[in-house]
Amino acid sequence: MPLKVRKSAVREQAEMCPIGACMDLIGGAWTPNIIWYLSGGARRFSELREDVKPISAKMLSTRLKEMEAVGIVSRTVVDTSPPSVEYALTPLGRELIPAIEAIARVGFKLKREQAKKRLAVAR
């Protein structure tokens, strides 16, 4: 006898799934890293490029434009010679910091567990 399909308590919101909307944004390559580094304050393009070492300039530029388009990053032209640009998290972007920090905490724990396992295997 097949099991009865139960209705989800959150099914009515499926069309506007808030988790999907957020994951579409932060699930992109390098996006969490960029948010992580911008959480410390405004950064110039070259500083972000240094922070997120393996990222290409093209990919960083693409991600910053996408993040600016959805309103989580602001871009400010700084009147210097030569002119430079600073990127910062908007108030909406700063709301992502606790989520990124939670992911980082779990990541640190995972790395510790992996290190323990490698050490145990090496013995």
Taking the domains of the chain in order of start, what are their residue ranges? 17-122
Residue 70 neighbours by CB under 8 Å, 6+ apart: 25
> How far apart, in whole angstroms, are the C-alpha atoms of residue 115 and residue 69?
39
Q: How confident is the model at residue 20, as a pLDDT?
A: 82
Give me the pLDDT at residue 12, please. 57
What pLDDT score does 59 carry? 95
Is 74 in a helix, a strand, or coil? Answer: strand
CATH class of 17-122: mainly alpha
| Per-residue pLDDT at 28 | 82
Give the phi and the psi of residue 9 in degrees, each rounded to 5: -70, -20
Euclidean distance between CA atoms 29 and 7, whole angstroms: 34
* pLDDT at res. 46: 93
Query: Cα separation of 89 and 67, whole Å?
Result: 9
Residues whose CB is less than 8 angstroms from the CB of residue 37 and which lie 6 or more positions away in sequence, other chains included: 43, 48, 51, 52
pLDDT values of the chain reduced to their tens digit, one per residue, 123 residues: 788 887 777 655 556 678 888 888 888 889 999 999 999 999 999 999 999 989 999 999 999 999 999 999 999 999 988 889 999 999 999 999 999 999 889 999 999 999 999 888 887
